[in-house]
Structure formats: structure tokens, C-alpha cells
């Protein structure tokens, strides 16, 4: 069941202008609630505008169809370990910051300077323009909202990658086999990634097939491979939080619980790189062993937008 909510074109123009200027969606929701709009409707309208911008679709003009509210996301005991330090396979990792909703942490000393340099050099000759999955056709497409260059390592592709896979899987507290292979991304000056979710949305056959094989994505770790001269922060607009890239550090967040609910508070973006370039290595974890489309005998490869 769903309900059609109507609103003025003036509100549409106001939201478009403020999002274009970088205003945090949470702040826009707060203002709308203060103007006596129903909180659920305010959040749904702002979410619709944010997602339309992320997917390159027209923003709503004066109406929106809102699905009946799903059960509220249930926050469970985090998979990430408690305490000020985490024990990885071969090092101690300090926790620099935590949030509870969504479950998020900024971690230090995840990679050494030499490991960051080695990842960059191994990835550089294999970079290709990054793509996203069209949410309806399932096709891989290059879009203006994704202006980076990327590549994937196979899980345990060599001894060096295997060591990093083991370390990060221990940090993320899930079996190594549940992890997708590291994706390395390079963002040149001017590149950015607009707000998006890392969990798979079952709106196309490729994502439905991937979820059937491996379960939903449950958590992400983004490791920064260099210090960025300007910009390039990882932004969580619903939290009003940005994480500054610092070589060797990482940001970790969770968004799927044991009930297979997904947490929309995990919305995130890569801010525009203002000076220099940004390199990151991303690891996604699944609910069970990751089986790629190629491994399953399917044609093509699942594109990601983390």
C-alpha cells in the first residue's frame, strides 16, 4: 500500500536549491518538521530528492508516492568489536570515532604507508572509468555522478592482497570468504561520488541474482591510500558527518541487520576533490560466502557503487 503526498512547487525548488548548495538533508528535514510537516513525510520527500540526484533522475515536482512505513530499522549489537582498540590479524587498530546510528567508526593504522603505496602501484595499470548499475535495467553504465577510475582485485589474488584480506575481515568480524575483492578507486581533481547506499537494491535482475547467491551486503570499510590536498571527504549527510582522508586510516559502517533490514542512515558520498587526487580501497562484506556472477557461470560482472 502507498499514499500520494502532494506538496508545492516552491518546496521542490527550495529543496533543489539547498541540496545543490550542499545543505545537509537532515537539516532540511528538521526545518520541514519545524514547519509542522509530518516527520515521516518530511524524511520521505527529502530522501526522494537525494536519491533522484544520486541516480541522475528528475527530482519530484509537486507529488510523491510514499510506501507504507516499513518496520523501523532495528539496531543490534554491532559486528565491529567494542573498545578503544581492535585486534587485527597482524596489528592493533585504534578506534578514533564511533557513532551508534548508523553503526560507524573511523579507524587508524589499518594500512601502513608502504602498503598504501603498493596498492596504488598494483592498481594503477588496471584502472577503468567507474560504472554504476542502472537500478532498473541492471546494466553497467558510466554516469556523470561517478567521475572516478577503479579496478577490482580478486579475493586473495596474491600473497600481499591475501594478507590485507585477512586483516580487514578480522576487523570487520566476518569470515574472509564473505568479502568481495578489494576495489581500488582513484579520484582526480574535480571528481566526486554523489550520495548513495552500498546495500544492493533488488530493482534489477543482476542485484536480485547476487543477493540470492551471496546474501545482502552488510558492511563497508573504506581505507584511504593517500592524504588529499583538498576536499575528498567521505560524507554521511544524514549524520552531518564528514571523514577527512588520511593515509592508512579507514571509515567503517554497517547497514544490514540479522533480519535483513537495511539502514538508510548509511547514505554516504565522496565529496569533490578540490586539489590533488584521492585513492581509496573499499571492502564490502556479505551475509554469506561471496559468489561472483562469473564464478556462478553468469555473463557480466556485478557493478558496485560503494
Residue 143: pLDDT above 70? no
- Candidates 256, 111, 134, 133; CA nearest to 184 is 111
Residue 302: pLDDT above 50? no
Per-residue model confidence (pLDDT) at position 139: 52
Dihedral angle sign, alpha carbons of residues 77, 42, 251, 288: positive
Percent share of the chain, pLDDT over 70:
91
Beta-bridge mates of residue 56: none
For 254-262, what is the mean pLDDT? 96
Q: Match domain 85-286 to its CATH number in 3.30.505.10, 2.102.10.10, 2.60.120.620, 1.10.3720.10.
A: 2.60.120.620
Residue 1 gets which letter from DSSP? Answer: -
Pull the grid cell for residue 49. 530528492
Phi, psi of 32 (to 5 degrees): -65, -40
For 259-275, what is the mean pLDDT? 96
Residue 298: pLDDT above 90? no
41-50, 107-116, 136-145, range with the lowest pLDDT: 136-145
Q: Measure CA of the first residue to CA of the last residue in the chain; give whole Å.
A: 30
pLDDT band of residue 26 (cuts 50, 70, 90) is: confident
Per-residue model confidence (pLDDT) at position 56: 84
For 63-69, what is the mean pLDDT? 78
Per-residue model confidence (pLDDT) at position 12: 93
Per-residue model confidence (pLDDT) at position 67: 72
Per-residue model confidence (pLDDT) at position 144: 52
For 114-120, what is the mean pLDDT? 98
pTM, two decimals, is: 0.76
Residue 305: pLDDT above 90? no
49-63, 91-105, 214-228, range with the lowest pLDDT: 49-63
CA 233/CA 226 separation, integer angstroms: 12
Please name the residues in contact with 22: beta carbons below 8 A apart, sequence gap of 6 or more.
Answer: none
CA 29/CA 299 separation, integer angstroms: 42
C-beta atoms surrounding 23 within 10 Å: 15
pLDDT band of residue 303 (cuts 50, 70, 90) is: very low
Q: Name the percent of the chain in helix, strand, coil, to the closest 5.
A: 25, 25, 45
- Candidates 302, 155, 290; CA nearest to 216 is 290
pLDDT band of residue 133 (cuts 50, 70, 90) is: low
CA 39/CA 65 separation, integer angstroms: 16
CA 285/CA 181 separation, integer angstroms: 9
Pull the grid cell for residue 58. 528528475
Per-residue model confidence (pLDDT) at position 132: 58
Tell me what the pLDDT averaged over the chain comes to: 90
21-25, 101-105, 140-144, range with the lowest pLDDT: 140-144
pLDDT band of residue 73 (cuts 50, 70, 90) is: very high
Residue 293: pLDDT above 50? yes
> 180-239: per-residue pLDDT in tens?
999 999 999 999 998 899 999 887 899 999 999 999 999 999 999 999 999 999 999 999
Per-residue model confidence (pLDDT) at position 145: 47
Amino acid at each position: 500500500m502507498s499514499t500520494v503526498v502532494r506538496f508545492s512547487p516552491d518546496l521542490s525548488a527550495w529543496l533543489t536549491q539547498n541540496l545543490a548548495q550542499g545543505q545537509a538533508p537532515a537539516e532540511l528535514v528538521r526545518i520541514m518538521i519545524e514547519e509542522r510537516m509530518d516527520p515521516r513525510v518530511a524524511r520521505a520527500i527529502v530522501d526522494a530528492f537525494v536519491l533522484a540526484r544520486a541516480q541522475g533522475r528528475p527530482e519530484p515536482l509537486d507529488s510523491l508516492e510514499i510506501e507504507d512505513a516499513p518496520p523501523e530499522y532495528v539496531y543490534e549489537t554491532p559486528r565491529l568489536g567494542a573498545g578503544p582498540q581492535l585486534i587485527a590479524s597482524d596489528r592493533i587498530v585504534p578506534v578514533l570515532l564511533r557513532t551508534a546510528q548508523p553503526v560507524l567508526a573511523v579507524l587508524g593504522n589499518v594500512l601502513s604507508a608502504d602498503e598504501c603505496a603498493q596498492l596504488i602501484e598494483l592498481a594503477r595499470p588496471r584502472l577503468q572509468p567507474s560504472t554504476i548499475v542502472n537500478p532498473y535495467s541492471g546494466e553497467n553504465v558510466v554516469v556523470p555522478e561517478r567521475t572516478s577510475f577503479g579496478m577490482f582485485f580478486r579475493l586473495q589474488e596474491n600473497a600481499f592482497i591475501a594478507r590485507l584480506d585477512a586483516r580487514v575481515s578480522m576487523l570487520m568480524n566476518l569470515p574472509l570468504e564473505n568479502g568481495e575483492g578489494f576495489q581500488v578507486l582513484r579520484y582526480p581533481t574535480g571528481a566526486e561520488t554523489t550520495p548513495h547506499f552500498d546495500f544492493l537494491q533488488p530493482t534489477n535482475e543482476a542485484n536480485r541474482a547476487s543477493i540470492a547467491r551471496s546474501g545482502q551486503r552488510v558492511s563497508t570499510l573504506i581505507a584511504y591510500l593517500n592524504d588529499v590536498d583538498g576536499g575528498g571527504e567521505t560524507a554521511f549527510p544524514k549524520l552531518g558527518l564528514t571523514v577527512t582522508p588520511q593515509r592508512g586510516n579507514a571509515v567503517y559502517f554497517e547497514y544490514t541487520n540479522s533480519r535483513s533490514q537495511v539502514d538508510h542512515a548509511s547514505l554516504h558520498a565522496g565529496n569533490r576533490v578540490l586539489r590533488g587526487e584521492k585513492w581509496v580501497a573499499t571492502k564490502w562484506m556479505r551475509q554469506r560466502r561471496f559468489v561472483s556472477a562469473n564464478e556462478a557461470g553468469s555473463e557480466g560482472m556485478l557493478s558496485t557503487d560503494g
